[in-house]
Amino acid sequence: MSYSIRFVFAAMVLSGAAAAHAQDPTSDPLRALLACPYANGLKAPSVERLPGNMASRTVQTSTGPMQVSVADGYRMMLAFPDTAPLVNLKLERSQPGKLAADRTAILAQMTSFAATPGTKVAPFKVIERQGVEIMTLNNPTLNGGGVISIYTLISEKNNVIATAYLLDQKPAQRKFQTYEQYLALRDEFIYALALCMAEM
């Protein structure tokens, strides 16, 4: 993967503009997702709640920046025992009445990236599992660092968006050694997360 493509992936991970809002610590429907059980010991050593003044984040699209609303959220890194992190996961609850617009913005972001000249990713896909919509972008090879895949899962029933950046690492620091092994771990994680979102 070229430096420019890695930079775009990194920008997607880190982008986010904020405006003021108040979180209600007594009302936290996202908490059920924090306990989602993943296979093979995949866990988050620590969990960070998104800032209380964050009401939206900015995503970049081919037609310019768009806003994704944020009523509440968490960020965490998931790793297998004795390995570097596999997943940078963000769980967010959309502002009331904003989920459809948020989905439009995220879809525009991901399709824009997939269409970027020189981007070596598998065709962009949208699938459904357990009533949860899953948008997928995948690098077709391992590269020894950076982001391999970006997945956005949307539960309309629960007004929840999960964004997962699946990370490559040096061979000695990761649980997988081949792309096929990575695919198995990726799918296992994504389907477990989708099931937890469907059942929350």
Chunked in runs of 10, what are the mean pLDDT values of the chain (200 residues)? 45 44 60 92 93 90 95 96 96 97 97 84 90 95 87 96 96 94 97 95
Nearest 10 degrees: Cα torsion 17, 45, 138, 63: 0
CB 75 within 8 A of CB 89: yes
Q: Where are the beta strands (DSSP E) in the chain?
A: 47-49, 56-61, 64-69, 72-78, 87-93, 125-129, 132-138, 147-155, 160-167
Phi, psi of 134 (to 5 degrees): -125, 115
Q: What are the structure tokens assigned to 129, written together?
A: 């599992």
Long-range contacts formed by 44-48: CB under 8 A, 24+ apart: 44/76, 44/77, 44/78, 44/79, 44/89, 45/77, 45/79, 46/76, 46/77, 47/74, 47/75, 47/76, 48/74, 48/75, 48/76
- pLDDT for the residue numbered 119: 76
What are the domain boundaries of the chain? Answer: 3-199
- pLDDT for the residue numbered 27: 67
- pLDDT for the residue numbered 64: 95
Model confidence pLDDT, tens digit, residues 23-44: 454 468 899 899 999 999 999 9
- pLDDT for the residue numbered 189: 97
Q: What are the structure tokens assigned to 45, written together?
A: 């050593």
Nearest to 167 by CA among 45, 10, 2, 57: 10
Give the DSSP H/E element, type plus range, for residue 116.
none
- pLDDT for the residue numbered 115: 86
Q: What are the structure tokens assigned to 131, written together?
A: 């009533």
Cross-strand partners of 47:
76
- pLDDT for the residue numbered 96: 95
